[in-house]
Amino acid sequence: MAQSNTLALVTGGIGGIGSAICRALSTDSCHVVACYYPAEESKAQQWLNEARAEGLNVSVYPADVADAGAAAAMIESIEAQYGGIDVLVNCAGITRDKTIRKMPVEDWDAVINTNLNSVFYVTKPVMSGMLERRYGRIINISSVNGQRGQFGQPNYSAAKAGLHGFTMAAAQEGARKDVTVNTVSPGYVATPMTGKMPPEVLDSIVSTVPMGRLGKPEEIAAAVAFLAAPETAYVTGANIPVNGGLFMSF
Ligand code: CAA
Protein backbone atom coordinates (compact mmCIF):
# COMPACT_ATOMS: atom_id res chain seq x y z
CA MET A 1 0.00 0.00 0.00
CA ALA A 2 1.48 3.36 -1.01
CA GLN A 3 1.32 6.01 1.69
CA SER A 4 -0.01 9.44 0.72
CA ASN A 5 0.73 11.13 4.05
CA THR A 6 3.67 9.46 5.63
CA LEU A 7 5.14 9.91 9.10
CA ALA A 8 8.77 8.98 9.71
CA LEU A 9 10.66 8.86 13.01
CA VAL A 10 14.47 9.02 13.00
CA THR A 11 16.23 8.43 16.32
CA GLY A 12 19.60 10.16 16.53
CA GLY A 13 17.93 12.44 14.00
CA ILE A 14 20.06 15.54 14.60
CA GLY A 15 23.39 13.66 14.37
CA GLY A 16 25.76 13.35 11.42
CA ILE A 17 24.07 10.49 9.58
CA GLY A 18 20.62 11.09 11.14
CA SER A 19 20.43 14.64 9.76
CA ALA A 20 21.11 13.40 6.24
CA ILE A 21 18.44 10.73 6.67
CA CYS A 22 15.87 13.33 7.80
CA ARG A 23 16.73 15.44 4.77
CA ALA A 24 16.38 12.47 2.41
CA LEU A 25 13.03 11.34 3.84
CA SER A 26 11.36 14.75 4.19
CA THR A 27 8.96 15.63 1.38
CA ASP A 28 5.70 17.59 1.18
CA SER A 29 3.85 14.37 1.98
CA CYS A 30 6.35 12.89 4.46
CA HIS A 31 6.74 14.54 7.85
CA VAL A 32 9.90 13.52 9.68
CA VAL A 33 10.29 13.64 13.46
CA ALA A 34 13.93 13.75 14.55
CA CYS A 35 14.38 12.32 18.04
CA TYR A 36 17.31 13.78 19.98
CA TYR A 37 18.98 13.18 23.33
CA PRO A 38 17.36 15.59 25.86
CA ALA A 39 20.71 17.12 26.89
CA GLU A 40 21.09 18.43 23.32
CA GLU A 41 18.14 20.84 23.57
CA SER A 42 19.86 23.96 22.24
CA LYS A 43 21.53 22.04 19.41
CA ALA A 44 18.12 20.57 18.50
CA GLN A 45 16.43 23.97 18.36
CA GLN A 46 19.17 25.31 16.12
CA TRP A 47 18.94 22.19 13.94
CA LEU A 48 15.17 22.66 13.64
CA ASN A 49 15.46 26.33 12.68
CA GLU A 50 18.03 25.53 9.99
CA ALA A 51 16.06 22.55 8.67
CA ARG A 52 12.84 24.55 8.42
CA ALA A 53 14.72 27.41 6.74
CA GLU A 54 15.80 24.82 4.18
CA GLY A 55 12.13 23.97 3.67
CA LEU A 56 12.23 20.56 5.29
CA ASN A 57 9.01 19.05 6.66
CA VAL A 58 10.45 18.17 10.09
CA SER A 59 9.90 18.36 13.86
CA VAL A 60 12.11 17.41 16.79
CA TYR A 61 11.32 15.37 19.89
CA PRO A 62 13.53 14.84 22.99
CA ALA A 63 13.84 11.32 24.43
CA ASP A 64 16.56 9.12 25.91
CA VAL A 65 15.97 6.02 23.80
CA ALA A 66 18.17 3.97 26.14
CA ASP A 67 15.35 4.32 28.69
CA ALA A 68 12.47 1.94 27.85
CA GLY A 69 9.86 4.11 29.58
CA ALA A 70 11.01 7.27 27.83
CA ALA A 71 10.98 5.50 24.46
CA ALA A 72 7.42 4.20 24.96
CA ALA A 73 6.20 7.61 26.15
CA MET A 74 7.76 9.27 23.08
CA ILE A 75 5.96 6.93 20.68
CA GLU A 76 2.64 7.41 22.45
CA SER A 77 3.01 11.19 22.33
CA ILE A 78 4.16 11.35 18.67
CA GLU A 79 1.37 9.04 17.50
CA ALA A 80 -1.23 11.03 19.48
CA GLN A 81 -0.03 14.23 17.83
CA TYR A 82 0.68 13.11 14.25
CA GLY A 83 -0.88 9.65 13.75
CA GLY A 84 0.73 6.28 13.14
CA ILE A 85 4.43 6.03 12.34
CA ASP A 86 5.00 4.52 8.87
CA VAL A 87 8.80 4.64 8.76
CA LEU A 88 11.13 4.10 11.71
CA VAL A 89 14.88 4.63 11.38
CA ASN A 90 16.83 3.52 14.45
CA CYS A 91 19.96 5.65 14.08
CA ALA A 92 20.81 6.72 17.65
CA GLY A 93 24.28 5.54 18.56
CA ILE A 94 27.38 6.39 20.57
CA THR A 95 30.97 5.18 20.83
CA ARG A 96 33.11 4.55 23.92
CA ASP A 97 36.18 3.10 22.20
CA LYS A 98 38.62 1.15 24.40
CA THR A 99 40.25 -2.25 24.30
CA ILE A 100 38.64 -4.95 26.43
CA ARG A 101 41.37 -4.89 29.04
CA LYS A 102 40.90 -1.12 29.56
CA MET A 103 37.12 -0.88 29.23
CA PRO A 104 35.12 -0.07 32.36
CA VAL A 105 31.77 -1.87 32.71
CA GLU A 106 30.04 1.54 32.43
CA ASP A 107 31.34 2.00 28.88
CA TRP A 108 30.21 -1.47 27.92
CA ASP A 109 26.73 -0.86 29.37
CA ALA A 110 26.35 2.62 27.86
CA VAL A 111 27.01 1.40 24.32
CA ILE A 112 24.88 -1.75 24.61
CA ASN A 113 22.00 0.29 26.08
CA THR A 114 22.15 3.13 23.59
CA ASN A 115 23.01 1.20 20.42
CA LEU A 116 21.18 -2.11 20.91
CA ASN A 117 18.63 -2.07 23.74
CA SER A 118 17.20 1.23 22.49
CA VAL A 119 16.30 -0.40 19.18
CA PHE A 120 14.08 -2.90 20.99
CA TYR A 121 12.62 -0.18 23.24
CA VAL A 122 11.61 2.02 20.28
CA THR A 123 10.69 -0.70 17.79
CA LYS A 124 8.35 -2.53 20.19
CA PRO A 125 5.67 0.21 20.45
CA VAL A 126 6.14 1.38 16.85
CA MET A 127 5.90 -2.12 15.38
CA SER A 128 2.68 -2.89 17.28
CA GLY A 129 0.93 -0.07 15.42
CA MET A 130 2.52 -1.03 12.10
CA LEU A 131 1.29 -4.62 12.45
CA GLU A 132 -2.24 -3.40 13.22
CA ARG A 133 -2.22 -1.02 10.23
CA ARG A 134 -0.54 -3.68 8.05
CA TYR A 135 2.21 -1.40 6.77
CA GLY A 136 5.64 -0.32 7.95
CA ARG A 137 9.29 0.26 7.09
CA ILE A 138 11.87 -0.24 9.85
CA ILE A 139 15.53 0.49 9.08
CA ASN A 140 18.22 -0.17 11.67
CA ILE A 141 21.54 1.62 11.26
CA SER A 142 24.29 -0.87 12.07
CA SER A 143 27.95 -0.62 11.06
CA VAL A 144 30.66 -2.33 9.08
CA ASN A 145 32.19 -3.02 12.49
CA GLY A 146 29.17 -5.15 13.41
CA GLN A 147 30.09 -7.39 10.50
CA ARG A 148 33.87 -7.59 10.85
CA GLY A 149 34.67 -6.43 14.42
CA GLN A 150 37.07 -3.59 15.18
CA PHE A 151 40.09 -3.39 17.47
CA GLY A 152 39.13 -1.01 20.32
CA GLN A 153 35.37 -1.41 19.80
CA PRO A 154 34.22 -4.60 21.56
CA ASN A 155 31.07 -2.90 22.89
CA TYR A 156 30.17 -1.15 19.62
CA SER A 157 30.91 -4.22 17.47
CA ALA A 158 28.77 -6.43 19.74
CA ALA A 159 25.85 -3.99 19.71
CA LYS A 160 25.97 -3.46 15.96
CA ALA A 161 26.23 -7.20 15.28
CA GLY A 162 23.24 -7.68 17.56
CA LEU A 163 21.21 -5.38 15.34
CA HIS A 164 21.56 -7.84 12.46
CA GLY A 165 20.02 -10.66 14.51
CA PHE A 166 17.26 -8.37 15.74
CA THR A 167 16.54 -7.24 12.17
CA MET A 168 16.20 -10.79 10.84
CA ALA A 169 13.90 -11.84 13.71
CA ALA A 170 11.73 -8.72 13.38
CA ALA A 171 11.58 -9.17 9.60
CA GLN A 172 10.02 -12.59 10.08
CA GLU A 173 7.48 -11.17 12.53
CA GLY A 174 6.51 -8.36 10.14
CA ALA A 175 6.56 -10.21 6.83
CA ARG A 176 2.89 -11.23 6.64
CA LYS A 177 1.74 -7.69 7.48
CA ASP A 178 3.85 -5.71 4.97
CA VAL A 179 6.16 -4.48 7.70
CA THR A 180 9.69 -4.74 6.32
CA VAL A 181 12.74 -4.62 8.59
CA ASN A 182 16.23 -4.11 7.19
CA THR A 183 19.68 -3.00 8.23
CA VAL A 184 22.02 -0.46 6.65
CA SER A 185 25.67 -0.89 7.62
CA PRO A 186 27.74 2.25 7.05
CA GLY A 187 31.50 2.14 6.85
CA TYR A 188 33.61 5.07 8.05
CA VAL A 189 31.63 8.24 7.32
CA ALA A 190 32.62 11.90 7.71
CA THR A 191 30.69 12.77 10.89
CA PRO A 192 31.50 14.04 14.40
CA MET A 193 31.72 10.37 15.48
CA THR A 194 34.71 9.57 13.27
CA GLY A 195 36.02 13.09 13.99
CA LYS A 196 36.57 11.97 17.61
CA MET A 197 38.95 9.19 16.56
CA PRO A 198 42.73 9.57 16.89
CA PRO A 199 43.61 11.01 13.44
CA GLU A 200 46.40 8.49 12.84
CA VAL A 201 44.05 5.56 13.57
CA LEU A 202 41.39 7.00 11.24
CA ASP A 203 43.96 7.61 8.49
CA SER A 204 45.28 4.07 8.74
CA ILE A 205 41.75 2.64 8.47
CA VAL A 206 40.80 4.90 5.54
CA SER A 207 43.96 3.74 3.75
CA THR A 208 42.46 0.23 3.74
CA VAL A 209 39.15 1.34 2.18
CA PRO A 210 39.14 0.33 -1.51
CA MET A 211 37.52 3.67 -2.43
CA GLY A 212 40.26 5.45 -0.46
CA ARG A 213 37.96 7.96 1.24
CA LEU A 214 35.39 8.42 3.99
CA GLY A 215 31.73 7.98 3.11
CA LYS A 216 29.36 10.95 2.99
CA PRO A 217 26.25 11.00 5.21
CA GLU A 218 24.08 11.45 2.09
CA GLU A 219 25.42 8.17 0.73
CA ILE A 220 24.03 6.37 3.78
CA ALA A 221 20.77 8.30 3.57
CA ALA A 222 20.27 7.19 -0.04
CA ALA A 223 20.24 3.54 1.03
CA VAL A 224 17.81 4.34 3.85
CA ALA A 225 15.49 6.20 1.47
CA PHE A 226 15.51 3.18 -0.86
CA LEU A 227 14.43 0.86 1.96
CA ALA A 228 11.85 3.36 3.26
CA ALA A 229 10.00 3.62 -0.06
CA PRO A 230 6.60 1.93 -0.41
CA GLU A 231 7.85 0.28 -3.63
CA THR A 232 10.63 -1.53 -1.76
CA ALA A 233 8.09 -4.00 -0.49
CA TYR A 234 9.86 -7.31 -1.14
CA VAL A 235 13.16 -6.54 0.59
CA THR A 236 13.12 -7.64 4.21
CA GLY A 237 15.63 -9.07 6.66
CA ALA A 238 18.38 -7.72 4.43
CA ASN A 239 21.52 -5.74 5.12
CA ILE A 240 22.81 -3.05 2.76
CA PRO A 241 26.50 -2.34 3.34
CA VAL A 242 27.53 1.21 2.38
CA ASN A 243 31.22 1.06 3.16
CA GLY A 244 33.30 1.93 0.08
CA GLY A 245 34.28 -1.75 -0.22
CA LEU A 246 35.86 -1.96 3.26
CA PHE A 247 34.07 -5.25 3.94
CA MET A 248 32.64 -7.31 1.12
CA SER A 249 30.32 -10.26 1.67
CA PHE A 250 27.31 -11.92 0.10
N1 CAA B 1 45.42 -4.33 15.57
C2 CAA B 1 46.29 -4.98 16.37
N3 CAA B 1 46.98 -4.38 17.37
C4 CAA B 1 46.76 -3.07 17.56
C5 CAA B 1 45.86 -2.34 16.75
C6 CAA B 1 45.19 -3.02 15.72
N7 CAA B 1 44.31 -2.39 14.89
N8 CAA B 1 45.85 -1.07 17.18
C9 CAA B 1 46.71 -1.01 18.24
N10 CAA B 1 47.27 -2.22 18.44
C11 CAA B 1 48.23 -2.58 19.48
C12 CAA B 1 49.26 -1.49 19.75
O13 CAA B 1 50.33 -1.59 18.88
C14 CAA B 1 49.63 -1.77 21.18
O15 CAA B 1 50.47 -2.89 21.22
P16 CAA B 1 51.51 -3.12 22.45
O17 CAA B 1 50.69 -3.19 23.71
O18 CAA B 1 52.20 -4.40 22.12
O19 CAA B 1 52.41 -1.92 22.42
C20 CAA B 1 48.29 -2.18 21.79
O21 CAA B 1 47.50 -2.71 20.71
C22 CAA B 1 47.59 -0.98 22.38
O23 CAA B 1 46.49 -1.45 23.13
P24 CAA B 1 45.72 -0.47 24.11
O25 CAA B 1 44.75 -1.25 24.90
O26 CAA B 1 46.74 0.32 24.90
O27 CAA B 1 44.97 0.46 23.07
P28 CAA B 1 45.04 2.01 22.96
O29 CAA B 1 44.54 2.58 24.25
O30 CAA B 1 46.36 2.46 22.48
O31 CAA B 1 44.02 2.32 21.78
C32 CAA B 1 41.83 2.79 20.93
C33 CAA B 1 42.66 1.96 21.90
C34 CAA B 1 42.01 4.29 21.23
C35 CAA B 1 40.41 2.42 21.10
C36 CAA B 1 42.29 2.52 19.51
O37 CAA B 1 42.38 1.14 19.32
C38 CAA B 1 41.32 3.07 18.47
O39 CAA B 1 41.14 4.28 18.31
N40 CAA B 1 40.71 2.16 17.70
C41 CAA B 1 39.82 2.53 16.59
C42 CAA B 1 38.44 2.41 17.01
C43 CAA B 1 37.56 2.73 15.85
O44 CAA B 1 37.74 2.30 14.72
N45 CAA B 1 36.49 3.51 16.13
C46 CAA B 1 35.54 3.86 15.13
C47 CAA B 1 34.75 5.07 15.61
S48 CAA B 1 33.63 5.64 14.36
C49 CAA B 1 32.45 4.47 14.33
O50 CAA B 1 32.37 3.60 15.15
C51 CAA B 1 31.46 4.53 13.20
C52 CAA B 1 31.40 3.26 12.47
O53 CAA B 1 30.39 2.62 12.52
C54 CAA B 1 32.53 2.84 11.67
Q: Does any domain span residue 40?
A: yes
Nearest to 58 by CA among 72, 44, 70: 44
What CATH number should be reported for the domain holding residue 182? 3.40.50.720
pLDDT tens across the length of the chain (250 residues): 445 699 999 999 999 999 999 999 999 999 999 999 999 999 999 999 999 999 999 999 999 999 999 999 999 999 999 999 999 999 999 999 999 999 999 999 999 999 999 999 999 999 999 999 999 999 999 999 999 999 999 999 999 999 999 999 999 999 999 999 999 999 999 999 999 999 999 999 999 999 999 999 999 999 999 999 999 999 999 999 999 999 999 9
Interatomic CA distance for residues 92 and 115, integer angstroms: 7
Q: Is 151 a member of any domain?
A: yes
Total domains, the chain? 1
Q: Domain of 167?
A: 7-189+218-237
Residue 87, SS3 per DSSP: strand
Total-model pTM: 0.97
* Ligand 1, CB within 6 Å, residue ranges: 95, 97-99, 101-102, 143-145, 150-153, 156, 186, 188, 193-194, 197-198, 201, 205
In angstroms, rounded to a whole number, what is the distance separating the alpha carbons of residues 157 and 98? 12
CA 233–ligand 1 middle distance (angstroms): 40
User: Are the CB atoms for 22 and 51 separated by under 8 Å?
Assistant: yes
Nearest-CA residue for ligand 1 atom 25 is 99
131: exposed, middle or buried (Cβ count in 10 Å: 0-12, 13-18, 19+):
middle
Q: What is the pLDDT of residue 114?
A: 98
- What is the per-residue pLDDT for 3? 52
**205: in domain:** no
Q: Considering only CA atoms, which of 245, 89, 98, 237 is closest in space to residue 157?
A: 98
Name the closest-CA residue to atom 48, ligand 1: 194
* Spatial CA neighbour of 186 closest among 140, 248, 144: 144
181, part of any domain: yes
The answer to whether position 35 is within a domain reads yes
Nearest CA to ligand 1 atom 10: 151
Q: Where are the beta strands (DSSP E) in the chain?
A: 6-11, 30-36, 58-62, 87-90, 136-141, 179-186, 239-242
Helix ranges, 11-104 (H): 16-25, 41-53, 68-82
Is 154 part of a structural domain of the chain?
yes
- Which residues are known to be catalytic? 156
Domain annotation covers residue 206? no
